[in-house]
Amino acid sequence: MSKIKRFSVSVKDNLLKDFDSFVSRKGYPTRSKAIEDIVRGELKRESLLKGNMGTGAIILVYDHHKRELVAKLTDIQHDYHNLVICNQHVHLDHNNCMESIVVQGKQKEMQELTDKLKAQKGVKSVSLSIASAKK
């Protein structure tokens, strides 16, 4: 078991207030435990991004009423057909659709595909989550 080290952190008043509320909502026993989890998560994310190859998912939400957008999003995905494993469509509500695109391959291309989808007008949110990575 590794030794516990203490360090002090300076943050703005408002941020600390929000953080304490986060700690309480998440049910952390202490701030330290919450910070430990957050730091560990960020370090893991960084190490995943260092891999060249990976498997992940792109989640996007877009305006369903923009018909040309649906075609454009499909065209973009076809340009990356080697990367896209499958695509699941969810009709979120009257106006919005969500797609979860499972991707596997070069992380650089996953980011490219994510950026191209993000740049389309009518796309409300896009996130790329890399689940596993290797060199």
Task: Point out which residues bind Ni ion (CB under 5 A).
Answer: 91, 97
The residue among 17 and 91 lying less far from Ni ion, judged by its C-beta, is: 91
Contact indicator for 121, 69 with CB cutoff of 8 Å: yes
b/e per residue 31-43 (b: at least 16 CB within 10 A): eeebeeeeeeeee
Q: Which is nearer to Ni ion, 34 or 97 (CB)?
A: 97
Q: In this chain, which residue has its C-beta nearest to Ni ion?
A: 97
Torsion-angle region of 27 (φ positive above 0: left; ψ -120 to 50: alpha; else: beta): left
Shortest distance, CB of residue 104 to Ni ion, whole angstroms? 24
Least distance from Ni ion to the Cβ atom of residue 98, Å: 8
Q: Which is nearer to Ni ion, 97 or 113 (CB)?
A: 97
Return the number of the residue (64 or 106) whose C-beta is nearest Ni ion.
Answer: 64
Longest CA pairwise span in the chain (Å):
58
Give me the least distance between CB of 78 and Ni ion, in Å please.
Answer: 18
Residue 45 corresponds to which tokens in the numbers above? 């994310």
CB of 54 to Ni ion, least distance (A): 27
Tell me how far CA of residue 61 lies from CA of 15, 31, 99, 125, in angstroms: 29, 33, 7, 5
Least Å from the CB of residue 125 to Ni ion: 15
Q: Which one, 40 or 91, has the nearer CB to Ni ion? A: 91
